[in-house]
Structure 1
Amino acid sequence: MLILTRKIGQSLIIGDDIEIKILSIDSENISIGITAPKNLSIVRKELLEVRDENKKAININKVTLRQIENFIKKD
């Protein structure tokens, strides 16, 4: 992991076309601005984690439903 120190108004450049700029800092939050091509998806990590958990829950429910279905068919 690369660790950098930036001040308000300073930027980082990733590749040729992604800029991350520090907009503001308060006691607990940092606001950043991201300039990137529109075809590049930018998502907060916690949203991806929620999506992945939801996908796992759906798969568990499918397995449980199959088990219930098989149990009912046995009777």
Structure 2
Amino acid sequence: MLVLTRKVNQAIRIGAEVEVRVLEVSEGQVRLGVVAPRHVPVHREEVYRAIQEANREAAGTAPQDVAAALAAWSRDGLGQSPQG
């Protein structure tokens, strides 16, 4: 992990397109400004993790759904070989 020290109004660059600037420091919090192109997603860590979890859940297939699909496939004769 790269660790940098910055003061208010100082920035860091990530590649040519992303700038992260310290806007304010107060009471144990740091306010950051991020300039990035629209195609670069920028999220707080907790939001990013929630998005990842939602994507994992959406991509998952429940076992009962697989069983129902196999039953329908067999019932409709789709599981038969061309010879019969």
Compute the displacement of 1:3 (Å): 0.1
Aligned residues between the structures? 69
Name 1:19's counterpart in structure 2: 19
* RMSD of Structure 2 on Structure 1 (CA): 2.4
Name 1:63's counterpart in structure 2: 62
Higher relative contact order (CA 8 A, sep 6+): 1
Name 2:2's counterpart in structure 1: 2
* Higher normalized helix content (fraction of residues): 1
Q: Which runs of 5+ in 1 are unaligned?
A: 70-75
Q: TM-score, normalised by structure 2?
A: 0.62
Kindly, what percent of the aligned residue pairs are identical?
26
Compute the displacement of 1:51 (Å): 2.8
Q: Which runs of 5+ in 2 are unaligned?
A: 69-84
- Provide runs of 4+ in structure 1 moved above 6 Å: none
Tell me the SS of whatever aligns to 2:31. Answer: strand
